[in-house]
Amino acid sequence: MAARVSPQQRSTLWIYQVDPHEIHYLKFILEAYEGLTTLTTLDPQKGLVQMAVPPGRHGSLKVLL
């Protein structure tokens, strides 16, 4: 996992590699937790995704993942 802070949103960007066939499942699960994170697919063939995590939500996301 790589992390960096986005100055525009003050969100931390987490980058993960997951099974490419599971990206849609992960996106639907994360969308159910409103405000927890925003998932962006960076490379669908490699399963590379980015999560923008707002301040104060890191612990909840770690538990969920």
Bridge partners, residue 2, by sequence: 15
What integer pLDDT is reported at residue 10 of this predicted model?
Answer: 84
Q: Measured between alpha carbons, how far is 4 from 19 in angstroms, rounded to an integer? A: 22
Of 42, 39, 41, residue with least CA distance to 52: 39
pLDDT tens figures, 4-33? 655 556 889 999 999 999 999 999 999 999
Residue with tokens 């999560």: 51
What integer pLDDT is reported at residue 4 of this predicted model?
Answer: 64
1 and 12 Cβ atoms separated by less than 8 Å? no
